[in-house]
Structure 1
Amino acid sequence: MGERYARVRHEGRVWSARVLDSAVELLDGDWLRAPGAVVKTVSTGAIEWLPPVADPTILCVGRNYRAHAEELNNEVPQLPLFFLKQRGALAADGQVVHAPGWAGRIDYEGELVLVIGRTVRDCRSSDEALAAIKGLTIGNDITARALQSQDGQWTRAKGFDEFAPVGPWVVVDENPESRRVTTRVNGEIRQDGSTDEMIFACDRLIMEASRFMTLRPGDLIFTGTPSGVGPVQDGNQMEITIQGIGTLSNSIKIGD
């Protein structure tokens, strides 16, 4: 596993941090651009995890696993199916996700998330695309499934505040291929797939995205979810584990 970096809150201050086994090194710089020197080392029990990047563009890809498209009776796309989540959807590891009761069925979707490390526009090669990846993290593309079907487009269904938990950290300089993605709800396995099952690999996603938008350092790309999506109930605990990265954990509160 490569080095792990995060954003944390300690004694009321937000820090960039290098993650160790049971402690973090608080840094005097920005881990994404220039980490700087270690100020002090503190236990993970003395920090609050924050989303590993601040105010990113959150670009997502729908139906990027054939079995997932088929389980929802959707056609397999011929090109990446991109959509955006608003920045207020960003949430941290350990944070309680809130959903209003009127939104209906709420689904988990465990995903590998790419963290962009350099400005990219109109990328033309696989090597250039992969070089733009600063690191890998974990995301949950939480979805109000009934609203998704009702609206015919996904802004509302996937754009609620806190509907994009990410973290707890970013593993840098790692290859995104061959990563097992496992989602558990209250300890029960619901999703168990591999990033090798993607229809469009990570380099292709970056190349296609950069044709219509500029990707900047800190931007996030949710790469799609394996089959096995399903609903959660009020109070359920969602845990998404990705091989070589870690586990993202959030509970959900449903109700007005």
Structure 2
Amino acid sequence: MRIARVAHADGVDYAVLDGTDAVLIADPFATTHTVRLGRRIALADVRLLAPVVPRTVVGMAHNTGPDDRRLPPQAFLKPARSVVGPGEPIPLPTTSEHVDAEAELAVVLRAPLAGHSAETVHEAVLGYTVANDVTARDLQRTDPLWTTAKGQYGFTPLGPWVETALDPDDVQVGLSIDGRPLRPASTAHLARGVTEILCHLAAHLPLGAGDVVLTGAPGEYGPLRPGGRVEATVTEIGSLANPVIHSNHPPHTGETPCP
């Protein structure tokens, strides 16, 4: 089942995608099962938004391939306000000269992780979506916490929807920049799979309904340029495309910049 968050003539709602229609549903994070509201809207009359509005976004560091198992699991936080949806622009900040796109599988939680074991942790998962973990590579080298490198506005595109029926352990993750495909790879190549990631986070962070976990980039990543277009894809989910623009925020707005 594909759950989307859609904007339509009367507002914003969650919906199940059914053929050429969006069937409006109750908040999937407030119920234990899908509650259809009885209204159908043609997909042509809605706009897909980021499929979730998280309170917390967590990413896994050093989880791009088997060699990373030599390192202990490590997570980083991204501001919830860095999330954008399908088709929304990614502004390149004036403070960076090298910004990369990283296509990843993202986990969307429906319930708190705390208290779960490896056998039950997937009960806390609503489903999976496509993420682009945009990263200012030059800032990453000078910021050991990666906050400025990964937390800029627009640096967490999510979408186009949440797929609830997916085996996350072996799906292809790909990236295309300005129409040029980069080398894809399977989530099976990640140093740590979804179950191990969620168990690690359950022991350390108070994550709950609506929160998002980025699992790592198994495939090739690449640089973004203003005026370009980036598309992240996960097989069995779909593709997430975003234009790339210059930031509309100048380095400073007064005569004297912040020191």
| Cα root mean square deviation, aligned | 1.7
- Match of residue 23, structure 2, among 25, 31, 34: 25
Q: Give per-residue Cα distances to partners, 1:12-55, cap 9 Å, x unaligned.
A: 5011101123321123x113333422332222221121111123
Q: Following superposition of structure 1 onto structure 2, how do residues 65-76 of structure 1 map, counting pairs within 5 Å?
A: 65-66=64-65
Residue 242 (str. 1) matches residue 240 (str. 2) = no
Kindly report structure 1 stretches of 4+ aligned residues shifted beyond 6 Å: none
Identify the residue that residue 62 of structure 1 maps to in structure 2.
Answer: 61
Q: Percent identity?
A: 28
Identify the residue that residue 257 of structure 2 maps to in structure 1.
Answer: none
Give the CA deviation at 1:78.
Answer: 2.5
Letter in 2 for 1:7: R
Give the CA deviation at 1:133.
Answer: 1.6
Q: Give per-residue Cα distances to partners, 1:159-196, cap 9 Å, x unaligned.
A: 00111000110011422111001111122111300000
Distance 1:78 1:102 in 2: 30
Q: Secondary structure at the match of 1:6?
A: strand
Residue 216 (str. 1) matches residue 213 (str. 2) = no
Residue 161 (str. 1) matches residue 159 (str. 2) = no
Q: Is 1:122–1:207's contact at 8 Å kept on the other side of the alignment? A: no
Q: Give per-residue Cα distances to partners, 1:178-223, cap 9 Å, x unaligned.
A: 1001111122111300000011111111111111112211110000
Q: Is 2:53–2:80's contact at 8 Å kept on the other side of the alignment? A: no
Letter in 2 for 1:132: A
Aligned length: 246
Identify the residue that residue 72 of structure 2 maps to in structure 1.
Answer: 79
Q: Is 2:102–2:221's contact at 8 Å kept on the other side of the alignment? A: yes
Letter in 2 for 1:156: T
Residue 113 (str. 1) matches residue 103 (str. 2) = no
Distance 1:122 1:191 in 2: 38
Give the CA deviation at 1:77.
Answer: 4.8
- Match of residue 201, structure 1, among 187, 193, 200: 193
TM-score, normalised with respect to structure 1 = 0.90
Higher mean Cα deviation, 187-196 or 38-47?
38-47
- Match of residue 128, structure 1, among 120, 125, 142: 120
Letter in 2 for 1:197: H
Give the CA deviation at 1:104.
Answer: 1.4
Give the CA deviation at 1:245.
Answer: 0.6
Q: Is 1:5–1:18's contact at 8 Å kept on the other side of the alignment? A: yes
Q: Secondary structure at the match of 2:141?
A: helix
Distance 1:36 1:129 in 2: 23
Q: Give per-residue Cα distances to partners, 1:56-94, cap 9 Å, x unaligned.
A: 310100121227x7xxxxx65522220000111011011
Q: Is 1:106–1:232's contact at 8 Å kept on the other side of the alignment? A: yes
